[in-house]
Amino acid sequence: MDLKYVMYIDGKPEDVWQIFVKPEATKAIFFGSVLKSTFEIGSPYEYVGPGNDGDETVHVYGKVLAYEPYRLMSFTEHPGPSYRDNHAELETRVTLTLETVGNCTKLTLLNDQWPDNHPSYDSTKESWPMILSNIKTYVETGKTLDFGW
């Protein structure tokens, strides 16, 4: 039931890392959302952007579990309150690791610890490859993919 994806990107780990932490990059990749967090272990984070509740919709939120710049980021993840009434019960874990391989970066994403019958599993399974492909394209070209939305 774990979701695991591995991708190789023509860029340095520092370039890939920026996608996850710089507001202009997260907006480009994560559908107009920015990541709000202090990145301290145990601190909260949330991806906020246009959506069901206007420009400040919380799409996902959770707590930072690990944060080692340019190498590792791990956090719990809940769907935003406007997506599921029982959002607080629907916790998974996301772990991103970056490794240098030759002149590229190996990005591994593991989304695990899914509770039984999580209502967002199927949509998440479909959206991660789109997000990861967008990250690869953005790092390599400075542009995002056009999904026609």
Q: Residue 109: CB partners within 8 Å, gap ≥ 6?
A: 3, 4, 5, 6, 7, 94, 95, 96, 128, 132
User: Looking at residue 82, which CATH number applies to its domain?
Assistant: 3.30.530.20
What tokens does 57 get? 């919709």
Looking at residue 149, its pLDDT comes to: 67
Tell me what the pLDDT averaged over the chain comes to: 94
Domain that holds residue 108: 3-141
Q: Are 1 and 114 in contact (CB under 8 A)?
A: yes
107 inside domain = yes
135 inside domain = yes
148 inside domain = no
30 inside domain = yes
Which pLDDT band, with edges at 50, 70 and 90, does 137 fall under? very high
Amino acid at 142: G
Q: How many domains does the chain have?
A: 1
Q: What percentage of the chain carries pLDDT values higher than 70?
A: 99
Average of pLDDT values for 92-119? 97
